Structure 1
Amino acid sequence: MKILWFAVFWLGLTLSHVEGGVYDGFKIYELATKSRSTGVNLLLSELVKNESYYDLYSDNGAAAHIMVHPEAQPEFIELLTGHTLSYKIVNHDVGLTLRRQFETNRMLRNWYPYQGRLGTERYYSQEEINQYIEQLAQEHPSRVFIKTVGKSYEGRWLKTIRITNGDGRANKNVILMDGGFHAREWISPAAVVYAIGELVNNYEAHAQLLLDYDWVILPVVNADGYEYTQLSEDTRFWRKTRQPSSVECIGTDPNRNFGFHWNETGASSDPCAETYAGPRAFSEPEAIVVRDLIHSLADRGKMYLTVHSYGNYILYPWGYIDELPDTWEDLDEVGRAGGDAIKKATNTTYQVGCSTTLLYAAAGASDDYAFNAGFPISFTMELPAGGPDFFDPPASDIDRLVKETWVGIEAMARKVIEKYPLN
């Protein structure tokens, strides 16, 4: 039976209600889905409305993860015990793990400074990623082209890389891909950057992917938020943009800010909520950039892919309603090509299906918008969890995860090219 409260309260590890250091003593609990009744789910859904003490941020179909403030832990344990709910503590001190991770990341930045190439040894800044794609364009002037497509709220340049085979033919089909919608999901830009490297530097192996198709890629959508998460352990789990949304709260969920069924199911009108849809559709300059990209490419665009984490999902529309589009079988075929390829290569299982039916509602998201604008294939790809807080795969896992992700992306692209040949 679908547990609706997970769809409503995908809150994430918010920083809107905590100051620096308050993560000390926070614990993350894992609750088994099979041990919960509908009544208990409703009770917990009411409990986690108090974002100052509870953050629910996942349900993978088998278990849910909730971060709990130290002051609320006795009450929470009493609730679980009283309802005979099975649980385990999967992180005993979130603050401690965050400090350790940030120290490791600091050392890795010193050990692996940017020198014109991006490897998988560490996570890179948005500025370093921009420098990297510009360097690729300089090295491959006939195949790689950079375009500045806008600015973030804080003034960071948002740039796309267009990758071609260099034959100069115009009006090819297009695959549009982006990463970094949600600030804390560092593995997303890492996976997108790896895909860029494969298409550019390993061209011979992927020539078919570029014969009749160009790839247009925006590596980091939410540049301000992404940079903010790299300031300290106290900002690591910021999710939203950085444009003030009210006197008290900052940021909008850019993936609820698109003007297709904006601010409906799965989005919030509360400026302090993690899924805040914004004061109006396209209030965020970052969402406007993606919107304009979608429309500029919709006549040739065949697949839109936005990379997120976490959850092992390949999700397709609709996200605003619990219904399948008329062409859902085409979406499912392409998505399963990616999931099957990953399963065969690494034995990692991805669930493939309609966003609302399989996971949760998310009205105002970019995948619905692109699909409605004319992209016949449109996906949100949720990469696997990592690290003690699930949104934070350690640097040692980057190489494995980005290579695995590329297996799925390549397989989906090949299926799209087969289904939608150049006219």
Structure 2
Amino acid sequence: MDIFWALVALSCLSLGASLQKTNIYEGYKVYEVSTKARSADNGLFLSELAKNQTYYEVLPGFKGRTSARVMVHPEEQLNFVQLMAHRSVSYEVVNHNVGLTLSRQFEKNRMLRQSYPYNGRLGTERYYTHSEINQFIEDVAKENPRRAFIKTVGKSYEGRLLKTITITNGDSRRNKNVILVDGGFHAREWISPATVVYLINQLVYNLEENGDLLEDYDWVILPVVNPDGYEYTQISEDTRMWRKTRKPSSSECVGTDPNRNFDYHWRESGASDDPCSNTYAGSKPFSEPEALVVSDLIRTYSDRGQMYLTLHSYGPMILYPWGWIDEVPETVDDLDEVAKAGYEAILEATGTVYEYGPSTTTINYAAAGASDDYAFNEGFPISFTMELPPGGDDGFDPPASDIDRLVKESWVGISAMARRVVTKYPLA
């Protein structure tokens, strides 16, 4: 198994428990560790570290598959350095104080909220709250009553309204094909809802350029799947790295990974039955109201749906089924063709290299109970998880100054894939 992604699979266990025990990142350091030399041995070693949830979290590295990033508790740093020296593993410190970094980011975001209050439009100047995003799509629909329509499709555990916006070209034709998009499954992945917001702006306010994407297709978009978790990450620097939902999962732990909660090979692989784990699959399929809402949308549009796209971070990758097993569907050539269109468009436009391919073999770990597998099984012929590029010191926190670049680059790939779908699956 590829060592880099083996680390990622195991590291998912660590952060949730660490946050619930301490919620303090003052003095934590992030080390970038080379996995080139003696890679198999190093991988097993770092995998063991990842199991020590109190002191370590192993993250994807920024140098492709040749490195991993390890966040280390202050009390364990001397031991970690000695272990690296003993094993002759090269490393560098990429963040000397995670707590300080998160504090500065939190203050910066607070200042940006004051400098750029919501005014009816959402740009790329800062990250926006769930309530601001909901207000934005409401305002878009009011401003464009023939082209945009809002529907409340459910509530989160804490009672936040989950709303979709359906975007059309205004010709009032019924029963068009559908592209279904969602964002914000994992709370700390702020760039995901930001990308969805940019996508909405492009489809609504740039119709001249994107009219071909709406001629025979409607776009149904749920900007934030997990609003409770998303809002929790915005409370303070201590909660910024939260990943799961906020429904209590046991007497001691909170949250479920909503992208392990779908009723398709649920908990068969790559998911945990430990309520404190970051990949906890829930007490049963669709135990989380947020996952149930997405499943309802998928089934509602399965007869017309041609592409399901869920936006996550970080990669950069375009992944398609299967994620629960190391196999590919019979229609893998169709999936690969559309994914390649996104890969090539981004590479030509910006030079960023996305990996693309079947989920399990591309990232080298399984993840059963995910929404993309579920959507594909329910009838969407094209079903993708798009892992957006990393940012910040831990990958999940691109600074606000990077939003504009990242969302524009992502739209290049999304629109290219959508154009291939529109051509490949014309309206019957």
TM-score, normalization by structure 1: 0.98
Is the 2:35–2:66 Cα contact (8 Å) retained in structure 1? yes
* Aligned-pair identity (%): 66
Give the aligned partner of residue 25 of structure 1. 27
Match of 1:410 among 394, 411, 415: 415
Is the 1:17–1:52 Cα contact (8 Å) retained in structure 2? yes
Give the aligned partner of residue 242 of structure 1. 246
The residue matched to 1:231 in structure 2 has which SS?
Answer: coil
Is 1:208 matched with 2:209? no
Give the aligned partner of residue 2 of structure 2. 2
Give the aligned partner of residue 346 of structure 1. 350
Match of 1:372 among 363, 377, 383: 377
**CA-CA distance at 1:8 after TM superposition:** 3.1
Is the 2:13–2:53 Cα contact (8 Å) retained in structure 1? no
Give the aligned partner of residue 45 of structure 1. 47
Once the two structures are superposed, residues 135-162 of structure 1 have per-residue CA deviations (whole angstroms, 9 ceiling, x without a partner) of 0100111110000000000000000000
Distance across 1 between alignment mates of 2:247 and 2:40: 38
Distance across 2 between alignment mates of 1:118 and 1:8: 35
Distance across 2 between alignment mates of 1:12 and 1:192: 28
Go from structure 1 to structure 2 and tell me whether the alpha carbon gap of 1:42 and 1:13 turns closer, same or farther (over 3 Å shift): closer
Give the aligned partner of residue 201 of structure 2. 197
The residue matched to 1:48 in structure 2 has which SS?
Answer: helix
Distance across 2 between alignment mates of 1:61 and 1:331: 24
Q: Residue type matched to 1:5 in 2?
A: A
The residue matched to 1:268 in structure 2 has which SS?
Answer: coil
Give the aligned partner of residue 228 of structure 1. 232
Distance across 1 between alignment mates of 2:2 and 2:333: 22
Give the aligned partner of residue 87 of structure 1. 91
The residue matched to 1:88 in structure 2 has which SS?
Answer: strand
Aligned ranges 1:159-178 → 2 under 5 Å = 159-178=163-182
Once the two structures are superposed, residues 232-252 of structure 1 have per-residue CA deviations (whole angstroms, 9 ceiling, x without a partner) of 000000000000000000000
Distance across 2 between alignment mates of 1:10 and 1:339: 27
Distance across 1 between alignment mates of 2:25 and 2:301: 43
TM-score, normalization by structure 2: 0.97
Q: Residue type matched to 1:407 in 2?
A: V
Once the two structures are superposed, residues 186-221 of structure 1 have per-residue CA deviations (whole angstroms, 9 ceiling, x without a partner) of 000000010000000111110000000000000000
Is the 1:181–1:255 Cα contact (8 Å) retained in structure 2? yes
Go from structure 1 to structure 2 and tell me whether the alpha carbon gap of 1:13 and 1:166 turns closer, same or farther (over 3 Å shift): farther
Q: Residue type matched to 2:392 in 1?
A: G
Is the 1:12–1:57 Cα contact (8 Å) retained in structure 2? no
Is 1:131 matched with 2:135? yes
Go from structure 1 to structure 2 and tell me whether the alpha carbon gap of 1:253 and 1:200 turns closer, same or farther (over 3 Å shift): same
Deviates more, 1:13-22 or 1:50-59: 13-22
The residue matched to 1:17 in structure 2 has which SS?
Answer: helix
Is 1:386 matched with 2:388? no
**CA-CA distance at 1:13 after TM superposition:** 7.1
Distance across 2 between alignment mates of 1:36 and 1:319: 28
Is the 2:320–2:359 Cα contact (8 Å) retained in structure 1? yes
Match of 1:335 among 335, 339, 346: 339
Distance across 2 between alignment mates of 1:314 and 1:410: 13
Go from structure 1 to structure 2 and tell me whether the alpha carbon gap of 1:154 and 1:297 turns closer, same or farther (over 3 Å shift): same
Is the 2:8–2:58 Cα contact (8 Å) retained in structure 1? no
The residue matched to 1:392 in structure 2 has which SS?
Answer: coil
Is the 2:23–2:239 Cα contact (8 Å) retained in structure 1? no
Distance across 2 between alignment mates of 1:335 and 1:98: 34
Distance across 2 between alignment mates of 1:66 and 1:316: 28
**CA-CA distance at 1:42 after TM superposition:** 1.6
Distance across 2 between alignment mates of 1:334 and 1:325: 15
The residue matched to 2:65 in structure 1 has which SS?
Answer: coil
Is the 1:176–1:217 Cα contact (8 Å) retained in structure 2? yes
Distance across 2 between alignment mates of 1:379 and 1:114: 31
Is the 1:13–1:238 Cα contact (8 Å) retained in structure 2? no
Distance across 1 between alignment mates of 2:16 and 2:108: 22
**CA-CA distance at 1:15 after TM superposition:** 4.8
Runs of 5+ unmatched residues, structure 1: none
Runs of 5+ unmatched residues, structure 2: none
**CA-CA distance at 1:71 after TM superposition:** 1.1
Distance across 1 between alignment mates of 2:238 and 2:376: 36
Distance across 2 between alignment mates of 1:11 and 1:372: 25
Give the aligned partner of residue 362 of structure 1. 367
Is 1:420 matched with 2:425? yes
Distance across 1 between alignment mates of 2:107 and 2:38: 38
The residue matched to 1:190 in structure 2 has which SS?
Answer: helix
